[in-house]
Structure 1
Amino acid sequence: MTRKLVIVESPTKAGTIGGYLGSDYEVVSSVGHIRDIPEPRDMSAEVKKGPYGKYGVDIDSGFDPYYQVSPRAKKTVADIKRKLKEADELYLATDEDREGEAIAWHLLEVLKPKVPVKRLAFHEITREGIERALAAPREVDMEMVEAQETRRILDRLYGWDMSDVMRRKVGQGSSAGRVQSVALRLVVDRERERMAFQSAEYWDLTARFTATAGADAGVSFVGRLAKVDGKRVASGKDFDDRGVLTTDKAHHVTAAEAGALASGLANADFSVVDVTSKPYKKRPAAPFITSSLIQEASRKLGLGARQAMGVAQALYQQGYITYMRSDSPSLSAEATKAARSQAIELFGSDAVPTSPRVYASGDTNAQEAHEAIRPAGDRFRTPQSLRSQLGGDEFRMYEMIWKRTLASQMADAVGTTSTITVGATSAGGHAVEFTKSGTILTSPGFRALYIESTEKARYEDEEGKQPADGDERLPQVAAGDAVDAADLDALIHTTNPPPRFTQGAMIKELEDRKLGRPSTYASTVDVIIDRGYVRVDKRVLVPTWLAFNIIALLEQHFPTLVDYGFTAEMEAGLDRIAAGERSMKDWLQEFYFGGADAPQEGLRELLDNLGEIDARAVNTFNIGEGITAHNGKYGPYIERVVEDEKQTASIPEDLPPGDLTAAKAEELFSTQGGDERILGEHPVSGFTIVAKAGRFGPYVTEQLPEDAKGKPTTASLFKTMSLDTVTLEDAVRLMSLPRVVGEDPESGEPITAQNGRYGPYLKKGTDSRTIESEEQLLTITLEEALAIYAQPKRGRGRQAAAPLKEFGNDPVSGKPVVVKDGRFGPYVTDGEVNATIPKSEAVDALTEERAFELIADKRAKGPAKKRTTRKPAAKKTTTRKAAPKKKS
């Protein structure tokens, strides 16, 4: 019997595929990449001394990378090698994108199989998809491998050098990246626009009009002022970001004019000026690609980019949808047929057009996959049929993908849009016109199943709402008909600043500017959130002052590297490598070293000619009126000089940079900068006690005379206390902490009540116990303290909580993986390795695959290294990179 070994990259995917293949096949998982370019600290001493020592890439020998099997993959590789010895054929069934192709090539390089090798590529894990792949195996696509390798080398060179500059000039933990930095610049630029924005005020009128004759007499509608004396009324889009009207073709209605018009039209005679009708037609949106799926998941499901991709990956690996990394909206013939057939079953034969719809990508380099993201199989499973198998976000996403796919093959939504114009002349002699439009759908077409959502409009009342059956009906009237007018109201509007990006809007912006690849968008957004450069507030991305600092440094000293056009052209160059049109070596040589034909200086030249960076200058942001903002060691703060005296005040963490105006800065100075509330004299020391607002919150402190020795006694206010209401008595009690509650009658050790980093607690020797509230610090008795110590210790006084989520066994340790809530937030663990869950990922959306990935990444990093005085271990020989690959 022939034994066939199939290697995939995911344990979940292995289980699903194994269920479709017979006993002749054994399916194993590589658990992602098995080897990579190591960081210098993970190299042997011998390799560090050689040409690979700095970057893991020999930049002087054609940018040759040095690879080594990652520590977490060694056991996996050993297991696969053992199983390969018993196999007669090897199938590499990793994902069909560039990353998957690279994983397949690395497996070949490490395993060195002596049996026939076949590359299987399928974009859906269904019986039909696997059978089609088995019937048409191929070889590893070396052009795709080279494209991925170029990106990996580029990102290492860029990230290593630029991050080093950031760490030295901005601070530890700061970094830069090829796409990460321009994505961060997008967020910062938008915030700058908001900071420079000046609001404009404009007015208009509304009125309720009622038909007075005919069959529709008594039917009313609300119209809005559209023209004054033949000139269009200005709206938000007619003003620039400085609040200035940008066109002479629009009339700016002021508050005084709006009031005068409302009064002057109170007794005017209104009549219909015009009634127009035109056909309405709307085509369905194309099937999902990676970027549009993330955008729609953000708007419809409220998922972040990483969450959306995690849910989609889980659906793909379980065989419910096709591959989730794709930049092609086209559907296969089988999928088109399935979508049309199902639409006819559900909505009738008129639900689909005569000919199938064909969608094509506007990106000539679209190549991450061959088909759009759609339900898997040649016959789609309805969401209702999967109710018992899918839950939560997985069900909602599958339903959204299913609806979008079917809708893409359905008929246009058609109807009629009518507009009624009503006119009158005011008492002041001004001719005015009000309009009202409404669309009635005669055939909903695809809208019977799915309506694409949109980002919130910037300009108030200017984003036409999607028409739908049952819209407000307009009366049947004709030009010249009289109408009654009532409820004349003058309405004020103000222009809105450019909206901050949501994660979905950010990904659309990256896609529109061709920055990065669809498969990397989610991780790019995730990086700038996880590293603290951007925070998510009510689903929008708000930059921190650290982000301003990083972008200021890059713009001043590395402007090319954060230029949107240059980054897009760099992406196009990488695509030319993937297409075999450019040499990897030549392209990297031009990027890194520059040259006569290079359009810009090489990265090496930029770093060599960097000069002195004034860290203070790139960290100074003008707020106005002599006030500047800075990002300091203990957080952001504002600063100014008044009468030769420097004043500072902390900027609250939740205050966006765009909302920090000069007026807001004055408010911060008044509450933090030097102003204090005198409470009285301490009854024992006699020193004056004051209450202040500090960088770490409100506190009370003594005012010592200039010749006094030592530091003043200070104490933070309890969370339940207010700076405005704290009393002298409160302050004295706070300053008495820590308080001796009494002595343990058995050991004689004192028991004290203290406030610590993690809250209030009792301490007896080295034994600490959590107490419930800060108020107990002042009131708890010795008897109550002894009762707490009489109970078994349960981790700072709490019982162990049940896991937040449970998964299967980890593929490396074989132990069950669970999600727990820890001191620093939720984390995944298999009992041996603990891995923090990034802030941008919700526990509910965490998939088993993602949990295994987090643990594998943490395991690969190994434990934190400690300083030691021991002699270094003997040098180990390390296998060098294999000979240069040949084109298959």
Structure 2
Amino acid sequence: MPPRTKSTNSGTRRSSAGSSTPVVEPTAGDVAAGPDTDAVTAGNGAVSRGRTTRTARAATRGSRTGTSSPAASGTGVRLVIVESPAKAKTIAGYLGSGWRVESSIGHIRDLPQSAADVPDAHKGKPWARLGVDVDNGFKPLYVVTPDKKSQVSKLKALAKEASELYLATDEDREGEAIAWHLLQTLKPTVPVRRMVFHEITEQAIRRAVDNTREIDEHLVDAQETRRILDRLYGYEVSPVLWKKVMPKLSAGRVQSVATRILVERERARMRFTSAEYWNIEGVFGLLPGRDADRAGGASGDGQVDATPLPANLVALDGRRLATGRDFDSSGQLTSADVVRLDEDAAHALAGRLADSAFAVRSVETKPYRRSPYAPFMTSTLQQEASRKLHFSSQRTMQVAQKLYENGYITYMRTDSTNLSETALAAAREQARALYGAEYVPDRPRIYTKKVKNAQEAHEAIRPAGEQFRTPGEVRETLADADGYRLYELIWRRTVASQMADARGTSATIRIGGVSSAGEDTEFSASGKVITFPGFLRAYVEGADDPDAELDDRERRLPDVREGDALTTRELNPRGHTTNPPPRFTEASLVKTLEELGIGRPSTYASIIGTIQARGYVWKKGSALIPSFVAFAVVGLLEEHFGRLVDYRFTASMEDDLDDIAAGTAASIDWLTRFYFGSDAGQEGGVARAGGLKHLVNERLGEIDAREVNSIPLGVAPDDQPVVIRVGRYGPYVQHGDERASVPEDLPPDELTVDRALALVGAPSEERSLGTDPDSGATITLKVGRFGPYVSTDDDPPRRASLLGTMTPETLTLADALKLLTLPRSLGVAEDGEEVTAQNGRYGPYVKKGSESRSLESEERLFTVTLDEALALIAQPKTRGRRRAAETPPLRELGPDPATGAPMVLREGRFGPYVTDGATNASLRKGDDVASLTVERAAEMLAEKRARGPATPRRRAAQPAKQPAATKTTRQSTAKKTTARKTSAQPATATGTGTGTTTGTDGGGTPGTSSPRPRRTG
């Protein structure tokens, strides 16, 4: 056997301070005490762990984090645990016999997500809603997640039979935390080794087996601190949003700041006033008659260079012509030293220049040189895949994850642009073989730049292995089209990063002429000639990056010299308008978050997904558009919790968390300052304000719900304000006493005062149809989010959607009474089950128990008999695809660029969708049946393929409710007092209430939670 590092003892977790906390079996009623804290476990596998103080840790920093334990008798098989089944399958193929590779299927434990997850022993405790004992060292309570219990049982059984256990989860914070949780939950009695690698190749796996290490306690602390911070933020701030804005909203450390970035951009667009300016675009040419050696070139054939010379008017009488950058957001010029032409002036000037003589006044040439881009890290991969492949950030990470797990690329969550010596050699050799020796510089290019607040660095994202496989070599083995495209992008970027600079010459030509009125004019043309393409042979930056496009594109100009006379071929006045700042795309939002030092590249995809899932943002094409709910939430946070969404403060939190990861700061001290406050905090910061808890309690009563939910638009001609208000059921516009709902797909910057008044002034589609003769209830026609429907005013109201053949304009009382008979009982079958005819969101159908069958038309709802319904139910189900095939498509879109299969647009039970015969993708908000492009259809199908088939969820059994505990929790909330903590030994405070289940960074839905002991010092 190769030499090993000392293994980690399976029965204890040793802190950086060297003391250990016993690990207890997750069985009901077990209690184990550690040196400084009690560790309590409950029947669902909950474990608390004591937290260590900075001082105690520092005293014994040199102690090792684990001890060897003798191998228990077992089968001799060595067990390797990774995160995913795909990763397990690939690694198993490399290790061969004598090894067993299994997956944990992600995290196996987390803080409780709801009150049902909290063990009975902790229900009713003051901190139960948080899942973190804030009054006892911020001990988190971990429970085995319900959907992982069976997998944990399987892993426990395998660990008992194994001779050694290798924890081979990812080498980042999350991976280190998963390894620690596996160790604590499985409690193996055999040697345990931490095995790490950043690519899945046979050589890399063998090296990892030969070079195991211990679990990195600093990384575990860093992940745990972030998780606790996100829970505290989400569970304290989200309830404020429920009370003051709308139920089921969430706040999060990063998601709220990301939402603010989008809202601020939309506000800027709403404030923007466009300005118009004009210039003249000229096209010039060389006059014949120049000496032969210049005109004829090398051949001396006397032919004049006929290349057109396009140029723009840039100066008039020595003053620069105004361009878009000379206007502010209000449409006013920012300088008095420029000339602004309007349409009439531009046309008049062009007329005065029609017969003018023009000549070259100057030719300025400079050498052009451009270096290649650094290899990809997570954020730049997301940005470039968005530009070049039209992938969402989430889709990029899904595809990259598969490539990594199957051994095609290195680990895809990284902040580093560095390449290993092996990778440098592989990239240089491949560039030399494919493009020639002159395309490879003498020395390897070293990219050492890391992003601000970067996580512990891995290698850059590159093709896996000691020799890179070209895209052509992986095409046959990589069946997934999206995977191939992303691999090719990564391969090109990596190889190009080790290639020579692109070289050439750039030129600026100034052309002068005098108008018939004596006005001096000057035109300018710029061009570039690339004499040696260098890395551009392999890679050009995404075309929607304006800077990169201008830098990488060649623009040839004719061969002219100072004094050359020119002919005027065209003089075209052109009008321009200034544009508001562009909306963020996923790529540009990722870039902005990275530049601000907010969040981590590994979490950007999930953050963008979260703010869309919460309804704060929706997409129109590739643009991210904030909703009016986002406006209300951001406005509330800015006004009352400004530091929580302050860019610098959020970035400074990342700095502090990185210090904890590096072991230079203590997590308990930091959490204490953040949650309970400290005089040592930043001026104006959360700590100096008394901590998060005090801040929330103090500000809650000050918040005027109507004010934060009101977004002023302007003033109407009658001097009354026009306001958008966010109500519990969505946004609406108000002018005086008149109101109107805001269409869901209307971007905020398009809702002007005029548009709002038009909505308010539109004739109401709600009208009374009459009275139900049986009940006396009034029946009203209304229009809701899902279309027109009829409703009664009795309690509870009866409602029914209009059929497809009905229109609101022609609907009668008789029609409404007919609709309100649905669902219609047809009778009882022989087995005693009732049979009904119903109209659902997917169309008309008959139902008996759990069986349902579609009806051929809506009219049959009122005519189908019991016998006909039973006969229909007795027939086998007709699947949706067969029915769809019998219906003509709405549009034929052409072949899918990825698969070559024909794409069509169909109307389905869920609404319009795109299909290539194998994959279906529903149209989203902002997509239009009439204007849907081939590119957008292909993007939707590719995203659906990347997500893979849906997996049915098994509903977990819900434990019986305990009213007494809940009641105690609510009562103690009012009595809770906040004690300010000033040292590593926290003061005691009690309290509880309802919380929010956090997502990636703290947002979520309500729940109750409890703690687990952390390491003690």
Report the TM-score range of the alignment, normalised by the length of the smaller protein. Answer: 0.7 to 0.9
**1:173-201 deviation line (CA, Å, top 9, x unaligned):** 10101111101111111111111111111
Contact 2:409 2:461 in 1 (8 A): yes
Cα deviation for residue 671 of structure 1 reads 2.0
Cα deviation for residue 364 of structure 1 reads 6.2
Cα deviation for residue 735 of structure 1 reads 4.5
2:485 is paired with a residue of what secondary structure? helix
CA distance in 2, matches of 1:883, 1:555: 34
Which residue number in structure 1 is paired with residue 730 of structure 2? 635
TM-score (structure 2 length as normaliser)? 0.74
CA distance in 2, matches of 1:50, 1:870: 12
Q: Describe the shift of the 1:552–1:798 C-alpha distance in structure 2 as closer, same or farther (beyond 3 A).
A: farther
CA distance in 2, matches of 1:837, 1:119: 46
Q: Describe the shift of the 1:79–1:406 C-alpha distance in structure 2 as closer, same or farther (beyond 3 A).
A: same
Which residue number in structure 2 is paired with residue 180 of structure 1? 255
Q: Describe the shift of the 1:676–1:558 C-alpha distance in structure 2 as closer, same or farther (beyond 3 A).
A: closer
What are the equivalent positions in structure 2 for 1:321-332 lying under 5 Å apart? 321-332=409-420
1:261 maps onto 2:349 in alignment: yes
Aligned-residue CA RMSD (Å): 4.2
Which residue number in structure 2 is paired with residue 419 of structure 1? 508
Which residue number in structure 2 is paired with residue 446 of structure 1? 535
Which residue number in structure 1 is paired with residue 708 of structure 2? 618
Which residue number in structure 2 is paired with residue 14 of structure 1? 88
Q: Describe the shift of the 1:156–1:204 C-alpha distance in structure 2 as closer, same or farther (beyond 3 A).
A: same
Q: 2:956 aligns with which of 852, 858, 862?
A: 862
Contact 1:179 1:515 in 2 (8 A): yes
Which residue number in structure 2 is paired with residue 139 of structure 1? 214
CA distance in 1, matches of 2:213, 2:414: 20
CA distance in 2, matches of 1:766, 1:89: 49
What are the equivalent positions in structure 2 for 1:345-356 lying under 5 Å apart? 345-356=433-444
1:197 maps onto 2:276 in alignment: no
1:400 maps onto 2:489 in alignment: yes
Worse overlay, 372-381 or 57-66: 57-66
Cα deviation for residue 100 of structure 1 reads 0.4
Contact 2:798 2:820 in 1 (8 A): no
**1:127-158 deviation line (CA, Å, top 9, x unaligned):** 12112222221111111111111001111111
Give ranges in structure 2 of 5+ residues lacking alignment.
Answer: 1-74, 296-303, 716-720, 885-907, 914-921, 927-938, 967-1008
Which residue number in structure 2 is paired with residue 32 of structure 1? 106
1:56 maps onto 2:131 in alignment: yes
1:465 maps onto 2:556 in alignment: no
Paired residue type of 1:452: E
Which residue number in structure 1 is paired with residue 760 of structure 2? 669
1:218 is paired with a residue of what secondary structure? coil
1:360 maps onto 2:434 in alignment: no
Which residue number in structure 2 is paired with residue 831 of structure 1? none
Cα deviation for residue 526 of structure 1 reads 0.8
2:198 is paired with a residue of what secondary structure? coil
CA distance in 2, matches of 1:5, 1:803: 49
Which residue number in structure 2 is paired with residue 609 of structure 1? 698
Q: Describe the shift of the 1:753–1:96 C-alpha distance in structure 2 as closer, same or farther (beyond 3 A).
A: closer
Paired residue type of 2:193: K
**Larger relative contact order, structure 1 or 2 (CA cutoff 8 Å, min sep 6):** 2
**1:219-276 deviation line (CA, Å, top 9, x unaligned):** 3222111111122222112211111111234322222221111111111111111122
Q: 2:375 aligns with which of 257, 263, 287?
A: 287
CA distance in 1, matches of 2:695, 2:856: 57
Q: 1:108 aligns with which of 164, 168, 183?
A: 183
Cα deviation for residue 464 of structure 1 reads 6.3
Paired residue type of 1:86: E
CA distance in 1, matches of 2:126, 2:861: 66
Q: Describe the shift of the 1:107–1:735 C-alpha distance in structure 2 as closer, same or farther (beyond 3 A).
A: closer
1:166 maps onto 2:246 in alignment: no
2:740 is paired with a residue of what secondary structure? strand
Cα deviation for residue 487 of structure 1 reads 2.4
What are the equivalent positions in structure 2 for 1:743-782 lying under 5 Å apart? 756-760=840-844, 770-771=854-855, 777=859
What are the equivalent positions in structure 2 for 1:706-855 lying under 5 Å apart? 726=809, 734-735=815-816, 737-738=818-819, 756-760=840-844, 770-771=854-855, 777=859, 790-792=871-873, 798-799=878-879, 801=881, 844-845=942-943
Q: Describe the shift of the 1:179–1:825 C-alpha distance in structure 2 as closer, same or farther (beyond 3 A).
A: farther
Which residue number in structure 1 is paired with residue 919 of structure 2? none
Give ranges in structure 1 of 5+ residues lacking alignment.
Answer: 805-820, 827-835, 873-877
Worse overlay, 340-349 or 256-265: 256-265
1:15 is paired with a residue of what secondary structure? helix
CA distance in 1, matches of 2:416, 2:965: 56
1:172 is paired with a residue of what secondary structure? coil
1:85 is paired with a residue of what secondary structure? helix
CA distance in 1, matches of 2:865, 2:349: 74
CA distance in 2, matches of 1:241, 1:550: 25
CA distance in 1, matches of 2:198, 2:801: 59
Which residue number in structure 1 is paired with residue 970 of structure 2? none
Cα deviation for residue 502 of structure 1 reads 0.7
Q: 1:316 aligns with which of 404, 417, 427?
A: 404
CA distance in 2, matches of 1:662, 1:866: 53
Q: 1:649 aligns with which of 740, 747, 757?
A: 740
Which residue number in structure 2 is paired with residue 127 of structure 1? 202
What are the equivalent positions in structure 2 for 1:27-106 lying under 5 Å apart? 27-39=101-113, 40-50=115-125, 52-106=127-181
Contact 1:298 1:503 in 2 (8 A): yes
Which residue number in structure 1 is paired with residue 605 of structure 2? 522
Contact 1:12 1:849 in 2 (8 A): no
Paired residue type of 2:710: T
2:315 is paired with a residue of what secondary structure? strand
Paired residue type of 1:408: S
Cα deviation for residue 85 of structure 1 reads 2.2
Paired residue type of 2:741: S
Which residue number in structure 1 is paired with residue 522 of structure 2? 433
Cα deviation for residue 359 of structure 1 reads 0.2
Paired residue type of 1:124: E
Paired residue type of 1:522: A
Contact 1:314 1:847 in 2 (8 A): no
Q: Describe the shift of the 1:84–1:300 C-alpha distance in structure 2 as closer, same or farther (beyond 3 A).
A: same
Which residue number in structure 2 is paired with residue 568 of structure 1? 651
1:492 is paired with a residue of what secondary structure? strand
Contact 1:10 1:849 in 2 (8 A): no
Q: Describe the shift of the 1:589–1:870 C-alpha distance in structure 2 as closer, same or farther (beyond 3 A).
A: closer
1:479 maps onto 2:479 in alignment: no
Q: Describe the shift of the 1:879–1:654 C-alpha distance in structure 2 as closer, same or farther (beyond 3 A).
A: closer
Cα deviation for residue 403 of structure 1 reads 0.5
Cα deviation for residue 25 of structure 1 reads 1.6
2:762 is paired with a residue of what secondary structure? helix
CA distance in 1, matches of 2:1014, 2:848: 65
Q: How many residues align?
A: 823
